[in-house]
C-alpha cells in the first residue's frame, strides 16, 4: 500500500461525505467583535459577523484583559522560557493557579497548555496510576476526556448520557472495593444540555467514587462569580475535580484542573503532558487572571449574554427555524444533512456576511448535522434580525422543514 495514496483516498472519502473540514480564514477585529474580515481563497476579503465563536462574552478583546497582557509582555517578555520545572514557572502562573482554586472553592489548581491537554493529562495520569480504578464516563464526553481515558488503559464503563440511574446500575455491578471515578461535563458543547450534577454526585457518593467535572462551556458564564453550573447550583464541594478552559468565556488560552491539594500535586508530579512542555506565556496567564477576576465581580456580561441568547431563540421561533431546546447559551440549529449544512454555511458567509461553521460527523452523529450558533453580548438587535431573516430565506430555498409552533 502506498502511504500517500491511502491519504488521498481517505481525504476524498471525507470530501464526498461532505465532512471535509474547511477552515474559514478570519482576521478578528479587536474592539469590533463579533466583526471580522474573512479572507477568501481567491485573495478577496469581505466583512462578516461571527456567530460561532467560543469567546462567549467577548473577553478576548476586553481592555481589562488586553491591556494587562500588553503590560506583562513589556514586563516579562514573550515566552515563559522553559517548562514549569526548568525555569518556566513565572510569578503570573502562580497567581493564576491561586485565582482558579479560589474560583472553584478548591485547595489547589494546575494550569495546562489547553483544556484538551488538561483533560487528557489529568485523566490519563490519575486513571493509569491508581491500581484497579474503574472510570464511569458519560457517553457524550468530549474527545479530550475520551482520549485521556483511553490512554490510561484503565477499566471503563460508559453510562447513558445524563442518566444517573444507568450510572447507578453500572456501579452496583462492580466490585464495591474497587476505586472509582465518575467523569462528566456540565454544559455539553454540541447539544447545549446540562448534566444533572447533583444526582450524579449522589450516585458517586453512594459508591465512594471521586467525581471529575468538565465545566469548559460554563466557567465565566454561570454562577454568581462565574464558577460554572456547579457554583450556580451550590454543588462545587460535591466535585473532587473541576476542570475548565481559559480559552472560551475567559477569552485567552490554556486549560486547568482544580481540586484537593494532594490530587493536584499528584498530577503535577506524574503527568507527562504537564511536565514536558513549555509553560504558558506569562502575559497569557496574567490576561486570564484579569479576565477571571473581572468576571468574578461583574455580572453584567453574563446578564447581557443570557438576554441575547433569549432574543436569538425568539427570533428563530418567530420564523419557524428549528433549534434544539436546551437550558444553556448554545443554540444548535438543526439541518440534518452534511452537504446541506455545509451549503447553508457557505451561502451565509458569501451572500449574507454571516459566519457559522457547519458542525458535521464525527463531531455530531450523522443525521444531526447542525449550525451551532453562539450569541454574545456584543451582537446587536440588527445582527440578530439579520441572522434570523437570512436563515429564513435559506430555509425556503433549501426546502428544509420548519419547526411547528
Ligand atoms: C473545547 C473543549 C475542551 C478543550 O478546551 P480547549 O481549551 O479548547 O483545549 C474540553 N472539553 C470540552 C467539553 C470542550 O468543548
**If you write DSSP's letter for every residue of 21-90 in order, what string do you get?**
----EEEE-TTSTTEEEEEPTTS-EEEEEE-S-S-TT-GGG-HHHHHHHHHHHHHH-SS--SBIIIII--
The verdict on the CB of residue 247 being under 6 Å from ligand 1 is yes
Q: Which of 180, 248, 311, 342 is catalytic?
A: 248
Mean pLDDT of 25-49: 96
Mean pLDDT of 6-10: 97
Helix (H) or strand (E) holding 301: helix 300-318
Mean pLDDT of 269-286: 98
Distances from the Cα of 251 to the Cαs of 62, 66, 96, 353, in angstroms? 9, 10, 14, 23
Predicted local confidence at residue 399, as pLDDT: 75
Say whether 75 is catalytic: no
State yes or no: pLDDT of 405 exceeds 60: no
Dist CA 253 CA 247 (whole Å): 4
**The residue count for the chain:** 405
Predicted local confidence at residue 404, as pLDDT: 65
Q: Are 319 and 392 in contact (CB under 8 A)?
A: yes
Mean pLDDT of 100-104: 98
Q: Using omega within 30 degrees of 0 as the cis cutoff, is the peptide bond preceding 86 cis?
A: no
pLDDT tens track for 169-187? 999 999 999 999 999 999 9
State yes or no: pLDDT of 37 exceeds 60: yes
- From ligand 1's centre to the CA of 149, what distance in Å? 15
Q: Which atom of ligand 1 has the smallest separation from the CA of 188?
A: 13
Dist CA 397 CA 201 (whole Å): 47
What is the largest distance, in Å, between two alpha-carbon atoms of the chain? Answer: 64
The verdict on the CB of residue 115 being under 6 Å from ligand 1 is yes
Q: Whose CA is nearest to atom 7 of ligand 1?
A: 115
pLDDT tens track for 279-307? 999 999 999 999 999 999 999 999 999 99
Q: Which atom of ligand 1 has the smallest separation from the CA of 117?
A: 9
Mean pLDDT of the chain: 96
The verdict on the CB of residue 185 being under 6 Å from ligand 1 is yes
Mean pLDDT of 336-342: 90
Q: Which atom of ligand 1 has the smallest separation from the CA of 255?
A: 7
Work out whether strand 255-259 and strand 108-112 pair parallel, antiparallel, or are unpaired. Answer: antiparallel
Q: Whose CA is nearest to atom 8 of ligand 1?
A: 115
Q: Which atom of ligand 1 has the smallest separation from the CA of 253?
A: 7
Predicted local confidence at residue 284, as pLDDT: 98
Share of the chain above pLDDT 90, in %: 93
Dist CA 347 CA 345 (whole Å): 6
pLDDT tens track for 201-237? 999 999 999 999 999 999 999 999 999 999 999 999 9
- From ligand 1's centre to the CA of 257, what distance in Å? 12
Nearest to 145 by CA among 187, 183, 186, 191: 183
Query: How many C-beta atoms lie closer than 10 Å to residue 76's C-beta?
Result: 18
Residue 106 cell numbers, joined: 478548591
The verdict on the CB of residue 368 being under 6 Å from ligand 1 is no
What is the best residue among 100, 142, 191, 372 to mutate for testing ligand 1's pocket, by most ligand atoms within 8 Å of CB?
142
Predicted local confidence at residue 17, as pLDDT: 83
pLDDT tens track for 381-393? 999 999 999 999 9
The model scores a pTM over 0.75: yes
Phi then psi for residue 267, to 5 deg, are: -65, -45
Predicted local confidence at residue 380, as pLDDT: 98
DSSP assignment letter at 237: G
Query: How many C-beta atoms lie closer than 10 Å to residue 172's C-beta?
Result: 11
SS3 283: helix
Edge-to-edge strand list for the sheet holding 241-245: 108-112, 255-259, 241-245, 210-214, 180-185, 134-138, 155-159
- From ligand 1's centre to the CA of 397, what distance in Å? 35
Kindly provide the b/e burial profile for residues 52-73, where b requires at least 16 CB atoms within 10 angstroms of the residue's own CB.
bbbbbbbbbbbeebbebbeebb
pLDDT tens track for 48-99? 999 999 999 999 999 999 999 999 999 999 999 999 999 999 999 999 999 9
Query: How many C-beta atoms lie closer than 10 Å to residue 167's C-beta?
Result: 26
Per DSSP, the residues of 252-278 read: S--EEEEE-HHHHHHHHHH-HHHHTSB
Amino acid at each position: 500500500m502506498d502511504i500517500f495514496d491511502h491519504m488521498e483516498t481517505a481525504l476524498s472519502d471525507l470530501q464526498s461525505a461532505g465532512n471535509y473540514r474547511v477552515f474559514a480564514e478570519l482576521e478578528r477585529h479587536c474592539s469590533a467583535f463579533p466583526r471580522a474580515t474573512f479572507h477568501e481563497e481567491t485573495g478577496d476579503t469581505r466583512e462578516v459577523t461571527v456567530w460561532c465563536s467560543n469567546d462567549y462574552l467577548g473577553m478576548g478583546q476586553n481592555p481589562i484583559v488586553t491591556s494587562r497582557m500588553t503590560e506583562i509582555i513589556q514586563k516579562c517578555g514573550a515566552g515563559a522560557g522553559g517548562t514549569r520545572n526548568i525555569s518556566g514557572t513565572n510569578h503570573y502562573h502562580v497567581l493564576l493557579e491561586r485565582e482558579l482554586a479560589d474560583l472553584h472553592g478548591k485547595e489547589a489548581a494546575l494550569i495546562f497548555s489547553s483544556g484538551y491537554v488538561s483533560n487528557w493529562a489529568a485523566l490519563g495520569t490519575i486513571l493509569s496510576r491508581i491500581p484497579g480504578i474503574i472510570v464511569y464516563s458519560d457517553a457524550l464526553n468530549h474527545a479530550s476526556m475520551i482520549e485521556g481515558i483511553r490512554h490510561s488503559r484503565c477499566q471503563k464503563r460508559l453510562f447513558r448520557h445524563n442518566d444517573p440511574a444507568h450510572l447507578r446500575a453500572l456501579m452496583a455491578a462492580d466490585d464495591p472495593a474497587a476505586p472509582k471515578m465518575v467523569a462528566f461535563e456540565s454544559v455539553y458543547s454540541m447539544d447545549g444540555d446540562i448534566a444533572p450534577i447533583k444526582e450524579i454526585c449522589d450516585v458517586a457518593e453512594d459508591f465512594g467514587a471521586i467525581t471529575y467535572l468538565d465545566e469548559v462551556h460554563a466557567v465565566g458564564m454561570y454562577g454568581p462569580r462565574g464558577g460554572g453550573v456547579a457554583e450556580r447550583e451550590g454543588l462545587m464541594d460535591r466535585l473532587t475535580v473541576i476542570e475548565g478552559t481559559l480559552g472560551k468565556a475567559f477569552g485567552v488560552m490554556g486549560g486547568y484542573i482544580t481540586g484537593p491539594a494532594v490530587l493536584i500535586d499528584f498530577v503535577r508530579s506524574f503527568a507527562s503532558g504537564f511536565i514536558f512542555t513549555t509553560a504558558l506565556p506569562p502575559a497569557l496567564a496574567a490576561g486570564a487572571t484579569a479576565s477571571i477576576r473581572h468576571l468574578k465581580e461583574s455580572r453584567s456580561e453574563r446578564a447581557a449574554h443570557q438576554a441575547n441568547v433569549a432574543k436569538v431563540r425568539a427570533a428563530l421561533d418567530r420564523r419557524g427555524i428549528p433549534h434544539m431546546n436546551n437550558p444553556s447559551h448554545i443554540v444548535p440549529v438543526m439541518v440534518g444533512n452534511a452537504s446541506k449544512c455545509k451549503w447553508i454555511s457557505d451561502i451565509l458567509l458569501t451572500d449574507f456576511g454571516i459566519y457559522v461553521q457547519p458542525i458535521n460527523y464525527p463531531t455530531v452523529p450523522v443525521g444531526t448535522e447542525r449550525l451551532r450558533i453562539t450569541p454574545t453580548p456584543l451582537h446587536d438587535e440588527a445582527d440578530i434580525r439579520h441572522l434570523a431573516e437570512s436563515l429564513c430565506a435559506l430555509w425556503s430555498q433549501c426546502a428544509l422543514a420548519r419547526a411547528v409552533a
